[in-house]
Chains A and B, each alone.
Chain A
Amino acid sequence: QVQLQQWGAGLLKPSETLSLTCAVYGGSLSGNYWSWIRQPPGKGLEWIGEIYHSGSTNYNPSLKSRVTISVDTSKNQFSLRLSSVTAADTAVYYCARGSDDYGGLGHYYYHMDVWGKGTTVTVSS
């Protein structure tokens, strides 16, 4: 079955750029959306954005000016870059696969069914 393995720098200084990568094993990037979600310590989940295998993206407007999600189909990987980080960006960052199930009448029900284990990112001077 599909598994996601993620990695990246865990400690950043304010104003630096966060960079994380998620590799897809046991499957292909094709036909699915690939998302990034984050969770500040002790808080809930925030969707950051997604990329389709073709490269089209959707971002959360709250982060859009600082976020770039990219895909490398040759490596079966996708990546997150978040610029100008502050302490408010301290969180566990997850990558996830988004899947659509057809429910009839033209309805496709999107859900995130495979998740990476998470990467803790701390922003501190």
Chain B
Amino acid sequence: DIQMTQSPSSLSASVGDRVTITCRASQSISTYLNWYQQKPGKAPKLLIYAASSLQSGVPSRFSGSGSGTDFTLTISSLQPEDFATYYCQQSYITPYTFGQGTKLEIK
């Protein structure tokens, strides 16, 4: 299985901050990388697919980049509703695997 490792595991930030979350794959996955946001008690929500494509309806302050083994999710200016847990997921090969999550908390 492809192992996905996110860093950091948790992050404290303030409204208006620029935040970057990193995801590393254990082998090259080209750009077969998705990002999801999950709020407590809710299902995950797709933010970014194919490493950098913004899902319809997702605010443009979210962006993704990377290819191969290293990827980033950037939130350009944090809003109160962005405090949540973020997961990366590889779709290069089954079994699809997720990172362990990054919990973004209010400072």
Interface majority SS (helix, strand, loop, mixed), chain A:
strand
- For A, the interface residue count at a CB cutoff of 8 angstroms equals 25
* Residues of B close to A115: CB separation below 8 A: 43-45
The size bracket of the interface on B is 20 to 34
Contact of A116 among B43, B50, B96 (CB under 8 A): B43
A107, B46: Cα distance in complex, Å = 19
Q: Is the CB of B87 within 8 A of A113?
A: no
Given A45-B87, A115-B43, A115-B44, A109 and B97 contact (CB-CB distance below 8 Å): no
Please provide the 7 A-B residue pairs with the shortest distance between their CB atoms, ordered closest to farther: A111-B49, A109-B50, A115-B43, A110-B91, A60-B95, A47-B96, A45-B98
Contacts A96-B43, A111-B91 aside, 12 further interface pairs with beta carbons under 8 A come to A44-B87, A45-B98, A60-B95, A103-B31, A103-B50, A109-B31, A109-B49, A109-B91, A115-B43, A115-B44, A117-B42, A117-B43
